[in-house]
Amino acid sequence: MTSRASEQRNPYKGTPPRAWLVVRFKARNGSIEELQLLADTGSPCAFIISNSALIRLRRGLTSTSQSNFGQMRGGWLRVEMPELNVQRKLLGYGNDMVVSTAKKSHPDFEGLVGLPFLRLVEYGGDADSFWVRPLQGSGPQLK
């Protein structure tokens, strides 16, 4: 992760080269955990992480959902990224098969980040890297 504090810019990595982000979550006990997540603009889920990470990080339970990867356990996750003006709970899911598939591209990937999160920031890429920064004119999104 490089660049100024209000922008996260990451070189593509993996095989094939993939866009990714470091997302910070705040657990119930107040600790912060950073996960490297593959960026998937086609995903209707804000986050899909491992079941064990979901258990550690969730702030509340939701119902399960079925997908082509099997059962997905739901939970509210607290995202703590004030440099992007994102400090809020978002619905995420746990599914180890999704994480295993992401890891096939690169072993550092611990799941994926999808469109519900990416709509809260400005994102883009060029030939060398993928980036996110605060939406222009946006204030803190506290919820």
Going by their DSSP bridges, the two strands 86-94 and 47-49 should be labelled as: parallel
Longest dimension (CA), the chain: 40
- Please, how many CA atoms are within 13 Å of residue 52, restricted to the half-sphere of its CB? 3
The DSSP code sequence of 70-89 is EEEEEEEEEEEEGGGTEEEE
Q: Would residue 48 count as lying in a domain?
A: yes
Q: Would residue 51 count as lying in a domain?
A: yes
Q: Would residue 122 count as lying in a domain?
A: yes
Q: Would residue 7 count as lying in a domain?
A: no
Q: Would residue 4 count as lying in a domain?
A: no
Q: Say if CB 29 and CB 36 are below 8 A apart.
A: no
CATH code assigned at 98: 2.40.70
Q: Say if CB 59 and CB 25 are below 8 A apart.
A: no
Q: What is the mean pLDDT of each run of 10 residues along the chain (143 residues)?
A: 71 97 96 97 96 94 81 95 96 97 97 97 96 78 49
Q: Say if CB 8 and CB 53 are below 8 A apart.
A: no
pTM: 0.89
Residue 18's CB: how many other CB atoms inside 10 A?
18
Encoding tokens for residue 61?
A: 């339970």
Q: Would residue 66 count as lying in a domain?
A: yes
Q: What is the pLDDT of residue 139?
A: 52
Q: Say if CB 13 and CB 60 are below 8 A apart.
A: no
